[in-house]
Homo-oligomer: A and B are copies of this chain.
Amino acid sequence: MGILKLSELIVGQEADCFALLSIKEELTTREGKPFWKVGFRDAGREITSPIWDNSSWAADCRQHWAPGVFYKLRAVYRESNFGPQLDIRRIREVVEADAADGFDPAMCLPQSQFDPQQMFDELLAIARQRIANPALQNLVESILQGHRELLLRLPAARRNHHAFVAGWLEHTLSVTRTCVYLADKYADYYPQLKPPLDKGLVVAAGILHDIGKLREIDPQPSGTVYTAEGELVGHILLGRDVVRESPASAAVDADTRLRLEHAILAHQRLPEWGSPKPPMTPEAMIVHYADDLDAKYAIMAGILRDDNRAGPVTTDKNLLRQKFYRGLEA
């Protein structure tokens, strides 16, 4: 039997799939009938099904199945009054040999629409072309290279925006591109600014503004969790730590390093959003706007994609607590 993707099954189809057990909860109906609610997911779909107490899988489920573990399933995909369900025929944990059949843990998580490696390379290329100050360029490059493996898969958040594999890269590259545009533009507009706008610093701060997510977020296969220091300190301060602790920072002059640290600290602008200081330099101001628009635009796009309230506007029960407009035809 062929191996298909869970998210590509059609109703009634029986197939083998690889999937992550993402949910396992013990529940009872109001009448006291106990059952397990289990969820299996790949990158494109998550399906929850009940395992009733009298099911042949009940004992197995209770004793062995574990959330965060990958399974190979043979199942029939059905529609029910509860929505889609899986009728499980066979199930076993994934083994190493499954890699030969195409198993890859990443296939069970949502992905960036862009290739992580290409995004990483482009970020590096921008750093090399746009940061004239060699010490600063070296600092940025050494931080990127030093965390390459993790950055290729780090999400930007658990839920808010770019909450998928390589979301950090997708968001950071987009912010950095806007930084390149705006730095060029405003350096031209205000040539008399003293000291002049440091265009390379805008780019460096754009690349590193969210680098603290390396320490705030722990991207498990079964989902993103926040670290203890992420909760007690927060990515904004942790990002400044990454810069300060990099051996390459010693070569950067004090004024530039202070401006870089400040731009990281100030990128959320408001204290209630986590920035202890507002942007106090032209460089920090540009990074804030490039970042804020990119995050809000992504959130809005997600709301417009997911909200299915009738009428021309979405509900305001969303992350931004406001309605969005879909158009007169919607």
Contacts and interface: CB of A to CB of B under 8 A. Distances in A.
A34 interface: yes
Contact of A324 (B30, B192, B270, B280): B280
Interface stretch (A13-21, A130-138, A258-266): A258-266
A159 interface: no
A100 interface: no
Contacts of A304: 193-194, 282
Interface string A202-231: 000000000000000000000001111101
B82 A32 contact: yes
B323 A280 contact: yes
Contacts of A270: 271
A313 to B, nearest CB: 5
Given A276-B236, A322-B278, A322-B280, A258 B328 contact: yes
A155 interface: no
A322 B26 CA distance: 28
A99 interface: no
A314 to B, nearest CB: 9
B81 A32 contact: yes
Residue among A177, A234, A327 with most chain B CB within 10 A: A327
Given A228-B313, A282-B300, A301-B190, A325 B262 contact: yes
Interface bin, chain A: 35 or more
B34 A326 contact: no
A321 B296 CA distance: 24
Contacts of A275: 276
Contact of A280 (B186, B194, B231): B231
Contacts of A178: 181-182, 185
Given A32-B80, A324-B281, A186 B297 contact: yes
Contacts of A80: 32
A285 interface: yes
Contact of A244 (B82, B192, B241, B328): B241
Given A177-B185, A312-B231, A300 B323 contact: no
Contacts of A281: 232, 324-325
A277 interface: yes
Contacts of A28: 81-82
A293 interface: yes
B292 A255 contact: no
A323 B275 CA distance: 15
A67 to B, nearest CB: 11
A29 interface: yes
Contacts of A274: 271, 276
A118 to B, nearest CB: 15
A121 interface: no
Closest 10 CB pairs of A and B: A271-B271, A28-B81, A29-B30, A34-B81, A228-B312, A232-B262, A289-B293, A255-B328, A231-B313, A280-B325
17 contacts: A28-B82, A178-B181, A178-B185, A182-B293, A186-B297, A193-B304, A194-B305, A227-B312, A231-B313, A232-B258, A232-B277, A232-B280, A233-B262, A233-B265, A280-B323, A282-B300, A282-B301
